[in-house]
Amino acid sequence: MREQNTKFRVAAVQAAPVFLNRDDTVLKACRFIEEAARNDARLVAFPEVYIPGYPYWVRYMDPFKAQKYTKELIKQAVRIPSEATEALCQAAHKAKIYVVIGLNERDPHSSGTIYNTNLLIDPEGQIMGRHRKLVPTYAEKLVWAPGDGLGLRVYETELGKLGTLICGENGNLLARFLLIAEGEQLHIASYPSIPVKDPGGYNLGKDIEIRAAAHALEGKLFNVVSSGIIDSSIVDAVGVTEEIRTILKSGDNCHTAVYGPKGVPISGPLEPGHEGIIYADVNLEDIIIPKLRHDIATSNYNRFDVMSLRLQRRPLQAVHSEEEEEQKLASLLQELKDSVQRLRSLLEQGSIKEAQATIEELKQALERS
């Protein structure tokens, strides 16, 4: 288990991408990572699908006429791993900071399928995991495929137990409860910006505010909320009619802030449309007293003999090879055997910290199984 810090600083980015340009958006993200680290942040969160942007055309155009935009988005999407993820990992390693960044992820086996994904990177520059949005919202289904439960989990980090959800998932009670039940202490919520005059007819900024406060209060945790903005490059690219341009230029409906375990902001919100970073100083000990009162993750304030949640983490895939499954099982068994032997040796040597790290490796291997 990693040695945990109880006091640290977090950062939330509110920014536009270099629209539909993967490489330049990665470079811009790396600059934000460096800036956050210079200001002593230990974690930095980015907006939904920051790389290389949100597909606004699905909201305002005929889907067949908009295919050229979707094609370009797929071409500019990110494979995991790739040169793009390596650049982000190197930036995280150089800055010694945790990074949670939204991106359009290309399916490794398909030329035409992408996912709405949050990528998690640790300060050593290693990919911790990725979470694919379980269900794209409304018109988004024209662009993104649904995700799976593989990345729906909390991660043990030096900053406590870290989890993330994307946009409307932050209103999904089952997904939120799962993270809370796994002991989530630090939540990352990522969103786009929607124009003020969007014909969808709802106030996204207010929705984010309500969801963020609710999750922080109900989970007794810190909630880092990052939203995008709409800049002139997005207007120029998507505003092919005067009506669409008018919508896109009507102002940003978004919300970037950090919430504490009492459900109130401890930093922000940033002014909608303003590009920048907000910071908040977190003390995980602030969670203790609220958890004493209402801890829905345990029998302190729940009844799992009455109601419970079932989880399926097996990744979605078209082909399941028995041979590959057997090879994976053999590899896993060998990994577990090696870890147990290493743990026994470390305990005999009295190397407690190294033994704790090995226990954490064992837990991760068992989760992968």
pLDDT of residue 2: 56
92 and 169 part of one domain:
yes
- C-alpha 85: how far from chain center: 15
Backbone angles phi, psi at 140, to 5 degrees: -60, -20
Residue 275 located in a structural domain: yes
User: Catalytic pick from 28, 30, 89, 133?
Assistant: 133
92 and 25 part of one domain:
yes
Tell me how many domains the chain contains: 2
- Rounded to whole angstroms, the Cα distance separating 202 from 192 reads 14
Confidence of residue 368 (pLDDT cuts 50, 70, 90): low
Q: In terms of residues, how long is the chain?
A: 369
133 belongs to the catalytic site: yes
287 and 326 part of one domain:
no
User: Catalytic pick from 28, 140, 161, 167?
Assistant: 167
Dump pLDDT digits (tens) for 350-359: 888 787 777 8
Q: Which domain holds residue 339?
A: 322-368
362 and 250 part of one domain:
no
Dump pLDDT digits (tens) for 14-67: 999 999 999 999 999 999 999 999 999 999 999 999 999 999 999 999 999 999
- Rounded to whole angstroms, the Cα distance separating 131 from 179 reads 12
193 and 332 part of one domain:
no
Between the alpha carbon of residue 32 and those of residues 23, 188, 229, the distances in Å are 15, 17, 15
195 and 289 part of one domain:
yes
252 and 362 part of one domain:
no
User: Catalytic pick from 28, 30, 48, 161?
Assistant: 48
128 and 200 part of one domain:
yes
Supply the CATH number for residue 188's domain: 3.60.110.10
Residue 309 located in a structural domain: no
